[in-house]
Structures are given as structure tokens and as C-alpha cells.
């Protein structure tokens, strides 16, 4: 079959345009290109001072051969964002925050073909990012187990530069070559926003399993029913663990803990002293102390308490201290030595945990756990200051920015 000269010219033009990453046609998987009209400029929410975001408009950056331009759909507000908003402990201001984000690929460089788990990537796919590898030869895209994100860069916690589109609190984000990115097109928007916090708990449960104590029929205590403890409960329930007692002081949160899979709930404010509280936990577990306990608060007093809930020979996972919350007193004889309990710590996650998280979210929905209800309040990008203030007020659970 012969094509006319005019046709060939047209085809060549199209191919060249796509190679330059500037074409307008939808391209097949992994061949670069652009899916739809992309504006010349777009907005970011930049934290420019304490408790103060400004909406700024910048030209959208060039998309290099290894880069991906993503149109942001939404992003959760994390405790880390709250710390930055209030005190800037990481010294990042001015910064475009937001690391619990997700969106749609609208343009990609010609070298981009697969995500970090080996799945095809194409225009229109929904993605999330995890860590950014710099020049660490110890980590490769295919070694998902290597280490947790401590020490790696993460979008949404990068200092501002001349790209500006570095965080998910924005209309667009530029994902540069060398980043980890996952195709999560088979998850709905709320599930995708919850991936990052859920990965924290997948990691904690994997750490707990490494003790050999957490089993199918274990009795488990989860202390703290903020988003972290609640997701912990949902994961345990999804794994088939039925005997879970939730401990918190907020009745609303305890009620939701039951919806997410806790079989019992203990309100610590109803008990005077650790002996009475321990007795209540024991009673809720059918007269037994817990085989395993998860500490999901940032309170040193809560850390001291949780040892009492664990049986001799049991296990404990401490994950509540993402940042330094001070020292906690324990009695080495009663709490660890004579009890022979196994304690593990858990901090952030590995890439492998991300992949497991995708499966968890699908399984949790399949058994009817109302995971989406963790997102209690949503705000558009231009109301991000209000969104953060709502987060600080602690009236809801997970607050998210959702782009229109
Ligand atoms: N390990 C990690 O990688 C990691 C990641 C993210 C967050 N975190 C940590 O997890 C903790 C929980 O996060 P969150 O977002 O759920 O916080 P949150 O503040 O929303 O929830 C904490 C809950 O603990 C309850 N609580 C406080 N004192 C208690 C006590 N003595 N006994 C029982 N319950 C008590 C509170 O009522 C609240 O519901 C934070 O301290 C955070 O730093 C750790
Ligand atoms: Zn986070």
C-alpha cells in the first residue's frame, strides 16, 4: 500500500512532534507524548511562611526524556505537613508540600516505559510516587526490599527550585527520571490518596510478623485510633485477625475502629490508673492479655502503658514516634526481662511495602471495610490554609486536598 506524499509529510510531522514530547496525539504505551491540552502555566500551593500557603502560578516545566508530567487529582495532608506548617522543623520554607498525592499522566518522555514494579506506563494512567533515588548505587528500581525511605528524597519534601512543581499540593507535578512511580490505575481516588499512610502500617505489620508471634488467631491490642491506629486495625482485620481491641480516649474514633475491624474498644478515660486499664483490656480479650500490641500514639505515657497489655512471651511494635516525642519510663524487669517479650520498632516503609499496600486496599474493600471514610474532610487547592487548620483542629481524621 502506497501513502501519498502529503500523508507521509503529515506522519513525519506527527512523529517528530511526539519525539520532541510536544505532540498532541495520544501515544501508545511507553513511547512518550502528550495526552491532552496542557496549559502554559499552572498553580502550586507554596508554604512561604509559618501557617501560610500562597497560591503561585508558574510556567509548566519542560518534560525531559525520562520525566513524567502528572495532572494532580488529590493529596492527603500528613502529620509531617502539619509540623512544617506550624514550625518548619525541616527548614524547607519556601516549599511546595504534599507527598500523599496521586494524579494522571498527561505527558511523558520517550524513555519512560515501565513503573517501578515493572508495569507498563502510558498516558492517562493514574500514578503515585514513592522515593527519589539520588546517586545511591545501593538502591535500584528493581530491588524493592532494600531499605526504608529514611535518607531518600520524597516529592513534597523537596526545597523549592526553578522547576517549582516538586510537591503534590499543586495542579501538576513533574516526576523526574530516577524517581519511583507506580501505576495504580486500578485503585479509586480515595484509595490512591491513602496509599502512603497505609504503607506505614503495612511495614509495621511486616515488622510485627518478623517476631513470629503475630498469628492468624492472635489477640491484638492497638493503642491510638488516629489514622495510623485505624489503618493498623483495618490491615489486621483484612489479614483475618478477629480479636482486636482498640484503645483510645475519643469515643468517635473508637466507634470507627469497630467499623474498621476492631472487635472491642476500650476508652482509657473511663479507667483510673494503669491497673484498671490493663484489666479492661484483658477483659475485652476474653480474660487474656494481648499476644501482640501496636503502639500508635506519639505519647510517652502511652508507650509506658502498652507493655502492661502484653502477655508473657508476647510481642510489641512501637511505631508512634515518627519524630522525637521525648523519653518514656518503663520497668525493665516487669515490662521486658521477666516477661520475655519481643519488641520491634517500625519507621516509614520500603518500596516492597508499597506494592503490598495496593493489594491490601483492594482486599479491604472486598471484605467491606469502609476505608474511604478515613478521609473526613476535603478542600480545593485554593483553600489549603483552611485544610491545614482543620487538620490541626483534629476534628476529622484524614484531610485531603482535592483538585476540581
Ligand atoms: N512509624 C512511622 O513511620 C510513622 C508514620 C506516620 C506517623 N507516625 C506516628 O504515629 C502516631 C499516630 O499518628 P496519627 O496520625 O494516627 O495521630 P493522631 O494524633 O491523629 O492519633 C493519635 C491517637 O492517639 C490517642 N491517644 C493519645 N494518648 C493516648 C493514650 N495514652 N492511650 C491511648 N490513646 C491515646 C489520641 O486520642 C488519638 O486518637 C503519631 O505520633 C505519628 O508521629 C509514625
Ligand atoms: Zn505522610
Q: Look up residue 158 and give its three cell numbers.
A: 523537596
Reference 197, options 249, 232, 158; nearest CA is: 232
Gap from CA of 293 to ligand 1 centroid (Å): 14
Report the nearest atom of ligand 1 relative to the CA of 224.
Answer: 24
Q: Say what the pLDDT of residue 139 is.
A: 52
Q: How far is ligand 1, taken at its centre, from the CA of residue 97, in Å?
A: 21
Q: What is the chain's pLDDT, residue by residue, as a tens digit (404 residues)?
A: 334 444 544 544 444 444 433 333 344 444 577 776 899 999 999 999 999 999 999 999 999 999 999 999 999 999 989 999 999 988 999 999 999 999 999 999 999 999 988 899 999 999 999 877 655 545 544 454 555 555 678 899 999 999 999 999 999 999 998 888 999 999 999 999 999 999 999 999 999 999 999 999 999 999 999 999 999 999 999 999 999 999 999 999 999 999 999 999 999 999 999 999 999 999 999 999 999 999 999 999 999 999 999 999 999 999 999 889 999 999 999 999 999 999 999 988 888 888 999 999 999 999 999 999 999 999 999 999 999 999 999 999 999 999 98
First-to-final CA distance of the chain: 47
> Cell numbers of 369, please?
471495610
What pLDDT score was predicted for residue 26?
41
Q: Which three cell numbers stand for residue 257?
A: 475502629
Residues 264 and 80: their CA atoms lie apart, in Å, by 30
Cα distances (angstroms) measured from residue 46 to each of 139, 154, 156, 371, 383 = 31, 16, 10, 30, 12
In the reported structure, the alpha carbon of residue 195 is separated from the centroid of ligand 2 by a whole-number distance in angstroms of: 9
Three-state secondary structure of 248-306: ECCHHHHHHHHHCCCCEEEEHHHCCCHHHHHHHHHHHCCCCCEEEEEECCCCHHHHHHH
Beta-carbon contacts of residue 136 (< 8 Å; ≥ 6 apart): 152
Contact in structure between 162 and 60 (CB atoms under 8 Å) = no
Q: What is the pLDDT of residue 247?
A: 98
- The runs of H, that is alpha helices, within 20-127 are 79-87
Q: Is the CB of 229 under 6 A from ligand 1?
A: yes
Atom 17, ligand 1: residue with shortest CA distance:
226
Q: Which atom of ligand 1 is nearest to the CA of 78?
A: 15
Instruction: Answer whether 229's CB lies under 8 Å from 294's CB.
Output: yes
Angle formed at CA 175 by CA 145 and CA 158, multiple of 5 degrees? 80
Q: What is the pLDDT of residue 4?
A: 44
99 within ligand 1 shell (Cβ under 6 A): no
243 and 214 in contact (C-beta within 8 Å)?
no
The pLDDT value recorded for residue 21 is: 39
Distance 248 CA to ligand 2 centre (A): 21
Query: Domains of the chain by range and CATH?
Result: 13-185+370-402 (3.90.180.10), 197-345 (3.40.50.720)
Q: Ligand 1: which residue has its CA nearest to atom 21?
A: 226
Distance 140 CA to ligand 1 centre (A): 32
* Cβ atoms 214, 315 nearer than 8 A: yes
Q: Which atom of ligand 1 is nearest to the CA of 249?
A: 37
Which triple of cell numbers denotes residue 221?
491490642
Instruction: Please state, in angstroms and rounded to a whole number, the distance separating the CA atoms of residues 344 and 189.
Output: 33
Cβ of residue 268 lying under 6 Å from some atom of ligand 1: yes
Cis peptide before 94 (omega within 30 of 0): yes
Instruction: Tell me, using a 6 A CB cutoff, whether residue 225 lines ligand 1.
Output: yes
Cell 522525637 belongs to residue: 324
> Distance between CA 184 and CA 193 in Å, rounded?
11
Q: Say whether 320 sits in a helix, a strand or coil.
A: coil
Our answer on whether the CB atom of 16 is closer than 6 Å to any ligand 1 atom is no
Amino acid at each position: 500500500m502506497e501513502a501519498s506524499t502529503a500523508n507521509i509529510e503529515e506522519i513525519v510531522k506527527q512523529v517528530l512532534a511526539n519525539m520532541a514530547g510536544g505532540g498532541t496525539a495520544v501515544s501508545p504505551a511507553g513511547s512518550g507524548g502528550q495526552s491532552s491540552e496542557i496549559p502554559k502555566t499552572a498553580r502550586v500551593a507554596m508554604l512561604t511562611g509559618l501557617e501560610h500557603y500562597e497560591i503561585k502560578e508558574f510556567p509548566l516545566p519542560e518534560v525531559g526524556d525520562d520525566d513524567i508530567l502528572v495532572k494532580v487529582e488529590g493529596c492527603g495532608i500528613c502529620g509531617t505537613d502539619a509540623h512544617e506548617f506550624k514550625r518548619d522543623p525541616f527548614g524547607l520554607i519556601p516549599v511546595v508540600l504534599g507527598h500523599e498525592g496521586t494524579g494522571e499522566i498527561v505527558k511523558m518522555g520517550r524513555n519512560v516505559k515501565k513503573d517501578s514494579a515493572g508495569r507498563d506506563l502510558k498516558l492517562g494512567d493514574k500514578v503515585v510516587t514513592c522515593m527519589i533515588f539520588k546517586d545511591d548505587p545501593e538502591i535500584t528500581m528493581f530491588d524493592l526490599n532494600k531499605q526504608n525511605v529514611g535518607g531518600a528524597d520524597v516529592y513534597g519534601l523537596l526545597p523549592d527550585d526553578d522547576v517549582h512543581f516538586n510537591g503534590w499540593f499543586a495542579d501538576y507535578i513533574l516526576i523526574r527520571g530516577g524517581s519511583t512511580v507506580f501505576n495504580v490505575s486500578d485503585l479509586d481516588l480515595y484509595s490512591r490518596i491513602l496509599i502512603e499512610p497505609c504503607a506505614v502500617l503495612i511495614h509495621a505489620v511486616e515488622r510485627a510478623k518478623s517476631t513470629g508471634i503475630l498469628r492468624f488467631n492472635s489477640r491484638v491490642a492497638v493503642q491510638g485510633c488516629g489514622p495510623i491506629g485505624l489503618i493498623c486495625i483495618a490491615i489486621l482485620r483484612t489479614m483475618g485477625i478477629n480479636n482486636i481491641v482498640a484503645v483510645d480516649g475519643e469515643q468517635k474514633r473508637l466507634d470507627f475502629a469497630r467499623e474498621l475491624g476492631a472487635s472491642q474498644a476500650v476508652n482509657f478515660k473511663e479507667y483510673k490508673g494503669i491497673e484498671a486499664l490493663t484489666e479492661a483490656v484483658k477483659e475485652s480479650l476474653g480474660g487474656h492479655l494481648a499476644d501482640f500490641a501496636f503502639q500508635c500514639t506519639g505519647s510517652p505515657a502511652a508507650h509506658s502503658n502498652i507493655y502492661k497489655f502484653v502477655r508473657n512471651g508476647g510481642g510489641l511494635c512501637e511505631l508512634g514516634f515518627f519524630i522525637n516525642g521525648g523519653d518514656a519510663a518503663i520497668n525493665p524487669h516487669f515490662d521486658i526481662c521477666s516477661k520475655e517479650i519481643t519488641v520491634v520498632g517500625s519507621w516509614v516503609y520500603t518500596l516492597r511495602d508499597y506494592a503490598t499496600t495496593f493489594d491490601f486496599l483492594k482486599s479491604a474493600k472486598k471484605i467491606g471495610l469502609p476505608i474511604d471514610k478515613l478521609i473526613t474532610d476535603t478542600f480545593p487547592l485554593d483553600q489549603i490554609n483552611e485544610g491545614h487548620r482543620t487538620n490541626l483542629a483534629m476534628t476529622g481524621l484524614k484531610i485531603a486536598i482535592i483538585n476540581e
